[in-house]
A and B are shown apart, each in its own frame.
Chain A
Amino acid sequence: MSETVKHDAILKKIFLFYYDGFKSMTWGRKVWIIIIIKLFIMFAVLRIFFFQDFLGSRFDTDREKSNYVTDELIKRNSHD
C-alpha cells in the first residue's frame, strides 16, 4: 500500500514538474503552437497524402519487395 502511495507521489511530482515548467514558459507558448502546427502538417498532411511508403503500399511481403527492387536494379540504365 505504502509502495503505491510512494509511486503515485513520484508520478504526481513528475507531472507537476512538467506542468509548472510549461506554464511558466513565456516565449514557449508561441513556440509550442508552431511545433504543433508543424507536426500536424508533417504527420497528418505530408505523411498521409504525399509520403506513402513506396514499397510498403505496393507489396505485402519482403519477398515481393526484394523481387521488385532486384528487377529495378537489373533493368535500369542511363539515357546514353
Chain B
Amino acid sequence: MIEQIDYTLVDWSRAQFALTAMYHWLFVPLTLGLSFIMAIMESIYIKTGDPHWKKITKFWMTLFGINFAIGIATGLILEFEFGTNWSNYSWFVGDIFGAPLAVEGIMAFFLESTFVAVMFFGWNKVGKKFHLASTWLVAVGANLSALWILVANAWMQNPVGMRFNPDTARNEMMDFWSVLFSPTAINKFLHTVASGYVLAAVFVIGISAWFMLKKREMILAKRSMLVASVFGLIMGAFLFMTGDESAREIARVQPMKFAAMEGLYDGQRNAPLVAIGLFARPTEPENPDQNKFLVKIEIPNMLSYMAFLDPHAFVPGIQDLVNGNEKENILSYDEKIDRGKIAIQTLRDYKQALKDNNQIKSDALRAQFDDQAFLDHYFRYFGYGYYNEPSDLIPNVPVSFYSFHIMVILGVHFMILFLVILILLFKNTLHLKRWILYVALFTIPLVYLASMAGWMLAEFGRQPWVIQDLLPTIAAVSRIDSSAVQITFWLFAVLFTALLIAEVKIMATQIKKGPKTEGGN
C-alpha cells in the first residue's frame, strides 16, 4: 500500500531546520575568520613587541569570546532534529555521518576547549610563544571542526563512497577518502570557510570604522583595518576562486540547481550569464510555473564558460532536464521517475521475498543491490521514484536565482571595499572620508546577508532532495504530529532571537567600552 505524507509536516520540519541552521550560522563564520585575524595580530605583537598590538589582539579576542560562548552548542539542536524530525534520513545515511561527526566532536573538544582556555586566561601566565601557538591552534581547531560537518553536507549534495545495504536500509561507507576528498566536499569546505574569513574581515573593518567615526581608538582602528583589509582581499580572491570551482561542480552534479540559480529554462550553447536580472510575474496561463525575466543584463558565453570552461558548451536548462534532451544525452525526469520506481519496487520485492522465506528470489533480488549496472541505471534514481509529477522536482527558481546573485554582487562590493580601505589607509586619508566609514559600518549586516544567501542557494537550489537523487524530504521526514514541530519551531525562534539580542547587546557594550577595559579575558 502506498502512503502519502502530509506536506504540512514536511514544510514545518524544513522550516524548523532552516531556522535553527541559519541562527547557528550567524555565530559560526565570525568564529572561523576572527580567530585567524586575532592570530595574525598576535603574531605581529610577538614579532614587534609593540604593546598596542597586544591591546588590539585582546580587544578582538573579547568580541570573539562573546560570539564563541553564545554560539556554542547551538549546532547540537540540529542533531536533535535529525533524530526526531528526520529519523528516516538519519537511519538511511548510516555511518556516513557518524564518522565525520565523531571526529569533529573529538577535535572540537580537545583542540578548541583546551586552547581557548589558554588563549583567554593565559596572558602573562604562559610563555608568549605558547600563548601565540594556542591562538593559532584555536583558529585551526575551529576550522577543522567545520571541515567535518561540511564534508557531511557535501555528501548530501553529492553522495559518493558508499553502498546501500537493503538488509539494514542504511548506506555503508565503502571509501572514507572519496567521501572526504570528493570535489564537492573540497569546494564546499574551502568556499564556506573563505566566506567566514571575508565576513570576519568586514566585521573588523566595520567596527573599526565606527571607532574612526567617533574619533576614538584611532591606532586600533587603523591597524585593525590594515590587517582586515589585506586579509579580506586575499581571502576574497580565494572566495571567488572557490566559488567559481563550486559552480562547475554544481553544473556537473546538480544541473537543476545550476539552471535554477541562473533562471535558465531553455538550454543552449554559448549560454550567456545573467549578471543582473529581475523576474516578471508568470503571465503565461499554459506555463504558470515558468519565470520570465522582466529585465536582465547578460554577459555573452559566460555561463557556458563558467559551467564547463568552454564558451561554446551546451548548458542544460530546466526544460531540458525535465523533458530530457536526446541530442545532449540527458534523461527526462519521467524516465528517472520510472527508474526510481523500479529501484523502490526491487527493495519492496526483496523484503516480501524475505517475508515469504523465498530464498532463491530473495538471493536474486539481493544481488541486484551489489550489481553495478543496477546501481548506475536504477538505484541512483531511487529518490525520483517517490514522485509522479516532474514539476515537483523543480526547486524554487526565484529564490535560487536571487540568493546566488545577491551573494555574488555583495562579494564584489566587499572586494571593492577592502581595496578602497587599503588605498585610503596608505594615503592616510581614510579618517577624512566619513561616507566610506559609514559604508564600511553598514556593510556588516550585508556580509551576514551574503553568507545566508550562499546557504540558501545551496539548500533551496537542491530541493526536493535531502540526499541528492536518493532521498527526498517527503521520504526523509519522521511520521510525527506537525503541530509538535510547529511548537518547537516557535520555541526555537524565541530562544535564538533572545540569544541573538543578548549577543548584540553584550558585544555593543564591549565595543562602546573599547580596548581600555579588560579586553581578552
Residues of chain A whose beta carbon lies under 8 Å from any beta carbon of chain B: 17-18, 20-22, 24-28, 30-32, 34-35, 38-39, 41-42, 46-47, 50-56, 62, 65-66, 69-80
Interface of A is mostly: helix
Task: Judge if B44 is at the interface, Cβ distance under 8 Å.
Answer: no
Q: Nearest B residue to A62 by beta-carbon distance?
A: B168
Instruction: Determine the chain B residues whose CB is within 8 A of the CB of A69 once the complex forms.
Output: 87-88, 91-92, 169
Q: What are some 26 contacts across the A-B interface (CB < 8 A)?
A: A18-B121, A20-B121, A21-B117, A21-B121, A21-B521, A27-B65, A27-B517, A30-B506, A32-B69, A35-B69, A38-B70, A46-B488, A53-B83, A53-B84, A54-B84, A55-B87, A69-B87, A70-B351, A74-B344, A74-B347, A75-B3, A76-B2, A76-B386, A78-B474, A80-B387, A80-B388
A-contacting 9-mer, from B207-215, B289-297, B478-486: B478-486
Contact of A73 among B81, B120, B475 (CB under 8 A): B475
Enumerate the 8 nearest inter-chain pairs by beta-carbon distance, A residue then B residue, closest first.
A21-B121, A54-B87, A80-B388, A51-B80, A74-B348, A70-B169, A77-B2, A53-B83
Q: In the complex, are the beta carbons of A55 and B121 less than 8 A apart?
A: no
Interface size for B (C-beta < 8 A) is 62
Docked complex Cα distance between A67 and B475 (Å): 15
Given A66-B168, A79-B7, is A54 in contact with B478 using a C-beta cutoff of 8 Å?
A: yes
Task: Judge if B72 is at the interface, Cβ distance under 8 Å.
Answer: yes
Docked complex Cα distance between A80 and B77 (Å): 33
Q: Nearest A residue to B346 by beta-carbon distance?
A: A74
Task: Judge if B491 is at the interface, Cβ distance under 8 Å.
Answer: yes
Instruction: Determine the chain A residues whose CB is within 8 A of the CB of B348 once the complex forms.
Output: 74
Q: In the complex, are the beta carbons of A27 and B88 less than 8 A apart?
A: no
Q: In the complex, are the beta carbons of B518 and A26 less than 8 A apart?
A: yes
Instruction: Determine the chain B residues whose CB is within 8 A of the CB of A30 once the complex forms.
Output: 506
Q: In the complex, are the beta carbons of B91 and A66 less than 8 A apart?
A: yes
Q: In the complex, are the beta carbons of B389 and A78 less than 8 A apart?
A: yes
Docked complex Cα distance between A53 and B79 (Å): 10
A-B contact count (CB 8 A): 143
Residues of chain B whose beta carbon lies under 8 Å from any beta carbon of chain A: 1-5, 7, 62, 65-66, 69-70, 72-73, 76-77, 80-81, 83-85, 87-88, 90-92, 117, 120-122, 125, 166-170, 344, 347-348, 351, 386-389, 392, 474-475, 478-480, 484, 487-488, 491, 495, 499, 502, 506, 509-510, 517-518, 521
Q: In the complex, are the beta carbons of A31 and B70 less than 8 A apart?
A: yes
Instruction: Determine the chain A residues whose CB is within 8 A of the CB of B77 once the complex forms.
Output: 42, 46
Q: In the complex, are the beta carbons of B70 and A35 less than 8 A apart?
A: yes
Q: In the complex, are the beta carbons of B92 and A76 less than 8 A apart?
A: no
Instruction: Determine the chain B residues whose CB is within 8 A of the CB of A80 once the complex forms.
Output: 387-389, 392
Docked complex Cα distance between A54 and B89 (Å): 12
Taking the closest CB of chain A, its distance from the CB of B76, in whole angstroms, is 7
Contact of A31 among B3, B66, B90, B487 (CB under 8 A): B66
Instruction: Determine the chain B residues whose CB is within 8 A of the CB of A54 once the complex forms.
Output: 83-85, 87, 478, 480
Q: In the complex, are the beta carbons of A35 and B169 less than 8 A apart?
A: no
Q: In the complex, are the beta carbons of B517 and A34 less than 8 A apart?
A: no
